[in-house]
Structure formats: C-alpha cells, structure tokens
Amino acid sequence: MVDEEDPFLGFDPTGFDADKQMATCAALVIDWIGNTKSTWVSAEDVWAMCETICSRSDFPIFHRVKQLVKDYMEGRMERIGMCPTGHVAYYDCKHPLLQDPKYQNADATECPVCGEERYLPRTLLANGELSPKIEVKVGW
C-alpha cells in the first residue's frame, strides 16, 4: 500500500473564503448541467444537495439560476429533435459535402436507421383537438 500525501496538508481554515466556496460550488453545478444535459428536475436535486453542503442560507435560488441559464442559452443554442436511441439528429445539414438526402431529415417522422418514432403518440384533448407534437428526445 502506497502512502498518499494528505490533500489537506497545510490547509488553513481561518483563511478559507466561504463566498468563494459557494461560487465555486454553483459554477460546478451549472457546468454539470451543461455537460450531462440533465433534466431540470435532476439539476434541481443536485443544486439542493450543493446548497446543503455549502450550508449557506444565501445560496442562490435554483429557479433564478435556471432562468439565467435559459436566458443565456436563448439565441446561442438550438433544440434539435433526436432519434430516441441516438442514431440521428433531425436536422438538414448545411455543409456542402453533406447535401445527400440521407443528411437532410429535419422533416422526418421516424429514424431512418431503427424506425423509432420521432414524436410521442398524440391524444385527443377535451376540446376535440389533437395534442401538440412532442418529440421523444431533443438535444442542443
């Protein structure tokens, strides 16, 4: 067994800045949200866990952070429908070398590879109209 150096060797808790800890924790969660493409529900759970770890009553409220992330992404990111199993993105490629019809599938309703449906089944609403089309999976 190899002795590892103590990572807290020389740590001075009197010089520890709790505001930096909170900011670092919040930034890491926001980074995690983007990297994992997590749902807002799971992101909120992770946010609550970090709030508990930081033990701060002034930790930012999740719905405010969520709105900041949404506002930031608006105009920078585009939601694109995806095959439920990840085979294709429903997108018309713009690159000159990708103009073959197999790369132009923004209007497809099922995956050309596995045949999975792009949209959830529509239901009849109480007002007699069909429910809106909802994609099974989306990506950014």
Q: Is 90 exceeded by the pLDDT of residue 108?
A: yes
Q: Residue 62's closest CA among 107, 93, 30?
A: 30
* Domain-wise residue ranges, the chain: 17-73, 78-140
Q: What is the pTM of this model?
A: 0.49
Q: Which residue has the higher pLDDT, 3 or 67?
A: 67
**Burial group, residue 10, by CB count within 10 angstroms (0-12, 13-18, 19+):** exposed
Rounded Cα gap, residues 72 and 136, in angstroms:
25
- pLDDT tier, 73 (very low <50, low <70, confident <90, very high otherwise): confident
Looking at residue 61, its pLDDT comes to: 80
